[in-house]
Amino acid sequence: MSAVSLSSPTMLGATGFGEALLDELHREPGRAKGQDKASLLLVEDDRSVNDLLALRFRLQGYRVLQAFNGLSGLEMYANLHPDLVLLDLILPELDGWQVLKQLREHSSTPVLMMTGRNQERDELRGLSLGADDYVLKPFSFSKLLARVEALIRRSRYVIDEDARSYEDSVLSLDLARRQVCVRGEGIELSPTEYRLLVTLVQGHGRALSHEELLQEVWGPNYDSTDCLKVSVASLRRKIEADPHEPSLIHTCWGIGYRYEALEERSPSAA
């Protein structure tokens, strides 16, 4: 197993994508280190890219843990419980898919996948396995930072004080404790799935447009309806008795989606 480095990153040996990150850093001289924000686990086997990203996030006030292969990433996650995982797809020992699958067996911590493979099926596979977001290399650090900050906000999402719980014949939400039960059994949701469910429940009985859901769940300037479709499908698998014949989350063709509790449906809709 490769050693996991927690030392200060270097900028030696940066080539290609790493060079672009280094150039971007040089265009932002003198940035002061802010207050500690959250802890990030960066799992990336390219040491120069890993070190440069770690440096950039530390300058923004984040605490950064570094792993250089999949096994050490899982080990570090189990021991240190970071707030968010930045996960490369192509890794030695265990690839990103395997790491993501194991993380999702035990955790709902936000996971942002990074890859140089520009294939839509990879993005959809990652989202279907429980990734919360997906970025293609090469990317600017500012874009990556915006995605990370959005995920952190989403994972700490709190409903307003006037509606601390919700319950119908199938679903119950304890919004103060962020607990979700389906037919009396607790279930685990990723931060994205949780926020999507809460948004749909808040608008229960009303058709929410794709744009409205993307804005509320993923934030402004996010227009991937494929991402929304994958997240809805994943949520249906967790809360519907039959995901192929959904009785709670309904597709409103050409518009978006609607949550409707079984007891609220009219006889004609049954």
User: Domain extents for the chain?
Assistant: 17-155, 165-269
Residue 134, SS3 per DSSP: strand
Q: State phi, psi for 133 to the nearest 5 degrees.
A: -160, 170
- Residue 116's pLDDT is 79
One digit per residue, the tens of pLDDT, for the chain of length 270 reads 333 333 333 333 334 555 555 565 555 544 444 445 799 999 999 999 999 999 999 999 999 999 999 999 999 999 999 999 999 999 998 999 999 999 988 887 889 999 877 666 777 777 778 888 888 888 889 989 988 988 887 676 554 445 578 888 899 998 888 899 999 999 998 888 999 999 999 887 888 999 999 988 888 777 778 888 989 999 999 999 999 999 999 999 889 999 988 754 443 343
Tell me how far apart the alpha carbons of residues 238 and 213 are, in angstroms, rounded to a whole number: 19
Which fold would CATH assign to domain 17-155? Answer: Rossmann fold (3.40.50)
The predicted structure's pLDDT at residue 202? 86
pLDDT for residue 89: 92
Q: Do 40 and 148 form a contact (C-beta atoms < 8 A)? A: yes
Global confidence as pTM: 0.62
pLDDT score recorded for residue 5: 33
The two tokens of residue 134 are 């997906």
- One DSSP character per residue, 125-166 reads HHHHTT-SEEEESS--HHHHHHHHHHHHHHHT----TT--EE
Report the amino acid identity of residue 100: L
Considering the segment(s) 165-269 as one domain, its CATH architecture is Orthogonal Bundle (1.10)
The separation between CA 227 and the C-alpha centre of its own chain, rounded to angstroms, equals: 11
Domains 17-155 and 165-269 share a fold: no
